[in-house]
Structure 1
Amino acid sequence: MSVLQHKNTLDSAAIRAQFPILGEKVHDRPLVFLDSAASAQKPVAVIDAMANTMRTQYANIHRGLHWMSERTTEAYEGVRDLVAAFLNAPSRNEIVFTRNSTEAINLVAHSFGALLKPGQAVVISEMEHHANLVPWQMLRDRAGIELRIAPITDAGDLDLEALQTLLADGKVGLVAVTHMSNVLGTVTPAKAIADMAHAAGAQVLFDGSQSVVHRKTDVQALGADFYTFTGHKLYGPTGIGVLWARKELLDAMPPFMGGGDMISTVTFERSTWANVPHKFEAGTPAIIETIALGAAITWVESIGMDAIAAHEAYLTAYALNRLQDVPGLNIVGQPQDRGGVISFTMADVHPHDIATLLDRNGIAIRAGHHCAEPLMRRLGLTATARASFGLYTVKEEIDVLADTLVRIRDFFV
């Protein structure tokens, strides 16, 4: 059965049937899962890919000469081709497998950071996840790099004029910003940012952990130099992420970790490195998880990223409209372009209480600072509640969320 109906709308019932967990109950209520920005649920295609790999073909890869190893190596390396096509990367050799976006950004901070000189600067924004903040603080403290912070507007958009000012002195070596905020849902104008960075002589990194799930991503059209994403938000397993970078940058960067598979030769006196991407993939990789990431990408592409984007744009608009009717509820941020993430507060009700009471009704959301403490301080908040959507989300679940929030508000007033 096709997951698409006529008029390019998703067949939500068919899609949801491919996620076994959505049939579970929580506190004797049907599960309403609105925490996909933290980690998405897994379709049968991904679950089967992991199980079948372990059941029928598992072996270590690259160095084995037996049939099972060769078969698994072929499946593993085939995912590199899938990811390259998914991002429209110029070459499969620009795809580096990591554990997650956090490791990918740390890799860039360590290895590209080694090419920066004291006195140069890295620019990030006020809305960054800690994963795109802490590694640059560590680089600053280790290597004397200046860390500059691009502000956001009160609506939650990146302040491009302020960014231009930060770039003006020509000392910035890298601009590293989110492609989509995990708190505000803000989709940043990546091409404009890249053009500004390049005009100032800087490279640009986009943290695509949120955006790659919701919209088609073309690293060449964006003008990116580095792009990261994580598998578990893209309906794949945990423990697998991706760094894409231009090959000339990867060639120039020193290795991130040392060990097996990232070497060409080893003696007691010295070692030489393998060609990219293997130079950055030390040790036995996440074989099963990588193969399952390939299954996730194949699955979402069978639905179509344009169809997914249209579905989630409708859901986001519907949710914004419904939540505005909840007394005392304040939606955080009004960015010009918002993905399927909505953070909110409610007068007289702490976000943790909101999340706890929603859970009692079978509704899963996230509450807290969302690994973005500096952004919370910029917003004058300590925490928010956050509802986030996946391609399996339906508007009836948003209705349940809004109606339950009204009852929670009534309970506290």
Structure 2
Amino acid sequence: MSVTDITPAPAALAPVYPIADVVGAHETVDCAAGRVRYVNGDYAASAPALTAVAGEIAQALPQYASVHRGAGHLSQLTTARYENARAVVAGFVRARADDHVIFTRNTTDGINLLARAVPGDTVVLDVEHHANLLPWQRSGADTKAKPELDRKCRVVTCRPTVAETLEALAAELHRAPAALLAVTGASNVTGEVLPLAKLADIAHDAGARILVDAAQLAPHRAITVAGHGIDYLVFSGHKLYAPFGCGVLVGRGDWLDAAEPYLAGGGATADVPPTDPSTDDAVEVAWRSGPARHEGGTPNVLGAIAIAAACVAIDDLGFERIGVHEHLLRTRLDGALDAIDGVRRLSIWSDSRDRVGIAAFTVAGHSPRAVAEHLNDAHGIGVRDGRFCAHPLLHHLGHPEGAVRVSFGVGTGSDDIDRLTAALADLVART
């Protein structure tokens, strides 16, 4: 384990205000201190909806109808909104012109979809969220039913520095052929950001492609699929201020078009011939290519519209403004945490210099659950505790029992950070 080394922030800092309106910003809860405004310190799990997103959904709901095959006016209007959402997402991540944009349930769903299409081994780091670790590790039952899924997941242990970790990944990719390097864009535990362009170069130099799990990165940093050399990108709406149960997989079409449809059903088919009762032969279904191939059934239209609305709203805010806002809050948080006896912040790499709005920490003498319960019950502050669906990483950091995580975003202000750190100081002072 290492602790991020940043000079504590000055005691008196200028106030920092939210830069966007989010639904529930003024929600109040009961706690030991009375009725207080709730502090949401758990953006990394599910961010609140932007009011602009909620407004877009409210506008679309009265005209909501079936998509793609309806002749009615509302069906055509809904289809246009759904396909426009696809185009907006492609523009948001600067995808290549021929990339597929497939709407999924979430990041986990998108990675599981791609895992059925990768024609070879996958290399991952041990810092990954389970969503980018477990789908590559096929069970015996899976591979017996579909031998083509019998591919290896080769896990590389992260090194003390980013530079050394990149060298280890390059060595593993050159040691034996691999089809894919699958990496996180930003750790869901510590928020540390990896250099995507360098990782893409490492993968491509070894003849592999790269998948970036951008669930934690997309709300905070500009991503350029084409410019960074990313082959596949996944992220979730519920972390992008669009919590309506939808995600996105963006990437090259050849592997996806060659794979079996993710969900067999209506919409994914081009033609289904009648069954011949005189033979046991399987029906030869003609499947579609493109995004429709993997979007069987009625899609989450409103979820897709919500993601597109979030992309537009974030673009309007601008990632430069988001970055400055985040830096001010992160500096304030880091300085205050470092000033509290017994509080230790966690980091993966000693040379990491970029981090999104996430901080993981421990409090000496207190379990992560006890800290989280104190913040909620005594102060009306919500944070995350546990192992954050990244059990191997917590073992690597020396905290198999877990830690506490606070995360923030565009709806967070300095009052939220100050209340959180004052509540932690109160906890430590009581013991």
TM-score by length of 2: 0.87
1:277 equivalent in alignment to 2:291: yes
Greater share of helix: 1
Instruction: Give 2:88's aligned residue.
Output: 82
SS of aligned partner of 1:138: coil
Rounded to whole Å, the distance in 2 between the matches of 1:10 and 1:99 is: 38
1:3-402 counterparts in 2 under 5 A?
A: 12=17, 15=20, 18-27=21-30, 28-54=35-61, 56-91=62-97, 94-112=100-118, 115-116=119-120, 121-138=121-138, 142=143, 143-154=149-160, 159-267=165-273, 268=275, 269-333=283-347, 334=350, 335-360=352-377, 361-381=379-399, 382-402=401-421
What are the superposed Cα offsets for residues 104-123 of structure 1, whole Å, 9 maximum, x if unpaired? Answer: 000011122xx22xxxx311
Alpha-carbon offset, residue 364 of structure 1: 1.0
Amino acid paired to 2:367: H
Per-residue CA deviations over 1:337-393 (Å, capped at 9, x if unaligned) read 211110000100111111111012011110010000111111121110001111111
Shift of 1:237: 2.0
| Counterpart code for 2:242 | G
Counterpart of 1:3 in structure 2 is none
Q: Which whole-Å CA distance do the structure 1 matches of 2:50 and 2:385 have between them?
A: 25
1:82 partner letter: V
TM-fit CA distance, 1:138: 1.7
- Displacement of 1:13 in angstroms is 5.2
Go from structure 1 to structure 2 and tell me whether the alpha carbon gap of 1:64 and 1:178 turns closer, same or farther (over 3 Å shift).
same
Amino acid at match of 1:351: P
| CA distance in structure 1 between the partners assigned to 2:319 and 2:155 by the alignment | 32
The CA deviation string for residues 61-115 of structure 1, in whole angstroms up to 9 with x for no partner, is: 0000010100111111110110010010123751111010000000011122xx2
1:329–1:43 distance in 2 versus 1, CA, 3 Å: same
Superposed displacement of residue 29, structure 1? 1.4
Distance in 2 (alpha carbons) for counterparts of 1:356 and 1:229: 30
What 5-or-longer segments of structure 1 have no aligned partner?
1-8
Task: Work out the percentage of aligned pairs sharing the same amino acid.
Answer: 36
Change (3 A) 1:253 1:47: same
Aligned residues: 395
Q: Offset of 1:14 from its aligned partner?
A: 6.2
SS in 1 for 2:169: helix
Q: Is the 8 A contact 2:18 2:412 kept in 1?
A: no
**How well do the aligned residues superpose, as a CA RMSD in angstroms?**
2.0
AA partner of residue 254 (structure 1): E
Distance of 1:401 and 1:79 partners within structure 2: 37
Q: Which has the higher relative contact order, 1 or 2, with Cα contacts under 8 A spaced 6 or more apart?
A: 2
Q: After superposing the two structures, state which structure 1 stretch, 400-409 or 166-175, moved more.
A: 166-175
Secondary structure of the corresponding residue to residue 22 of structure 1: coil
SS at match of 1:201: coil
* Matched letter for residue 311 of structure 2: I
Distance, in Å, in 2 between the alignment partners of 1:345 and 1:10 is 26
Aligned counterparts of 1:57 and 1:158: Cα–Cα separation in 2 = 54
- After superposition, give the CA deviation of every residue in 1:142-164 in whole Å (9 maximum; x if it has no partner): 24322211222346787112112
TM-score (structure 1 length as normaliser): 0.91
